[in-house]
């Protein structure tokens, strides 16, 4: 009988097609390029994609390369149809002490995804739990398969959840719902996650990655500098109050008038033709 690992390995025969001149070798992730979209897949099936240090460091490395690749306009991060990620790897951290976690900044590197300038679309299915949920929420746009079970059960392990679960989640779903999610640890369905604004769309589990790629291709068709500016503006809304946020937004708006793409976009609109952006 074929193992899940062998099936996944064969399904990613396209590794050689990636655009980098020297294909990096990774142990726990796979990737491919479809059009202008780079696809990163967690590939630790024997541990249900539990997020260990090696996996997250490999993801950070490929994200850095994709962010610097001019042929890439957007990035999709995904896992397996039955599990995006089952959480952080408990075996790695169960014997950690407070001084050790503080001095080495345990899981600080997870936040690296927020430094990537290109849009990142999460495409999640199956179990999206604990660290997997936290990481998914750090994506710019999140799409879910209909079979997704999304939750943050850190409370059951007597640890406080990290990052997006206590900071950005209340902005997404409101304080009361966020409190319920993190204080009970109970997972919610994809449909419920959609209703409360945690995910943008719900698709069949077999189609969620394809839909994410389609979305990435659409975004990639716009001016890359403007896409970057828009992403920055939205992210600044989490850092600034309304007054400062509006000032930053206006500054970005004004700065687009220094771009050739702004002239091309407006001229194409007036001339009723498709714009040809040069990304400058």
pLDDT tens figures, 149-188: 999 999 998 988 876 778 889 988 999 999 999 999 999 9
Residues 6+ apart with CB under 8 A from 85: 42, 48, 49, 50, 51, 79, 127, 128, 129, 130, 131, 132, 135, 136
In a domain, 199, yes or no: yes
> Domain check: are 85 and 203 in the same one?
yes
In a domain, 276, yes or no: no
189 and 117 fall within a common domain: yes
Radius of gyration of the CA atoms of the chain, in A: 20
pTM score: 0.88
Is the distance from CB of 274 to CB of 268 less than 8 angstroms? yes
Q: Average of pLDDT values for 49-62? A: 94
Average pLDDT, the chain: 89
Select the more confidently predicted residue: 140 or 89. 140
Number of domains the chain contains: 2
Between residues 194 and 162, the one the model is more confident about: 194
Do 51 and 172 sit in the same domain of this protein?
A: yes
- Are 248 and 240 a contacting pair, CB within 8 Å? yes
Q: What is the pLDDT of residue 227?
A: 97
Which structural domain range is residue 190 located in? 4-220
User: Residue 277 falls within a domain, yes or no?
Assistant: no
**What confidence score (pLDDT) does residue 24 get?**
67
Condensed to tens digits (0 to 9), the pLDDT of residues 12-28 reads 333 334 444 455 689 99
Shared domain for 237 and 195, answered yes or no, is: no
Lowest mean pLDDT among 41-45, 58-62, 103-107, 248-252: 103-107
Query: According to the model, what pLDDT value does residue 241 have?
Result: 86
- In this structure, the answer to whether residues 190 and 232 fall within a common structural domain is no
d(CA 154, CA 152) in angstroms, rounded, equals 6
Whether residue 20 lies inside any domain: the answer is yes
């Amino acid at each position: 009988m074929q193992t899940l690992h062998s099936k996944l390995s064969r399904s990613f025969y396209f590794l050689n097609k990636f655009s980098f001149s020297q294909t990096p070798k990774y142990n726990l992730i796979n990737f491919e390029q479809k059009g202008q979209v780079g696809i990163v897949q967690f590939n630790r099936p024997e541990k249900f994609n539990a997020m260990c240090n090696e996996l997250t460091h490999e993801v950070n490395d490929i994200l850095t390369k994709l962010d610097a690749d001019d042929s890439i306009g957007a990035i999709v991060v995904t896992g397996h149809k039955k599990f995006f990620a089952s959480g952080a790897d408990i075996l790695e951290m169960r014997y950690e002490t407070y001084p050790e976690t503080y001095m080495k900044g345990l899981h600080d590197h997870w936040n690296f995804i927020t430094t990537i300038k290109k849009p990142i679309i999460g495409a999640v299915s199956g179990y999206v739990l604990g660290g997997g949920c936290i990481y998914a929420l750090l994506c710019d746009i999140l799409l879910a398969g209909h079979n997704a079970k999304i939750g943050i059960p850190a409370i059951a392990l007597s640890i406080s959840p990290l990052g997006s679960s206590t900071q950005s989640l209340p902005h997404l779903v409101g304080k009361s719902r966020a409190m319920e999610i993190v204080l009970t640890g109970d997972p919610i369905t994809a449909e419920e996650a959609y209703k409360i604004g945690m995910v943008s769309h719900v698709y069949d589990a077999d189609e969620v990655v394809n839909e994410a790629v389609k979305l990435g291709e659409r975004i990639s068709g716009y001016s890359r500098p403007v896409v970057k500016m828009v992403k920055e503006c939205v992210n600044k809304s989490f850092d600034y109050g309304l007054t400062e946020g509006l000032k930053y937004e206006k500054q970005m708006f004004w700065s687009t008038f220094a771009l050739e793409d702004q002239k091309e976009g407006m001229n194409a609109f007036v001339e009723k033709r498709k714009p040809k952006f040069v990304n400058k």
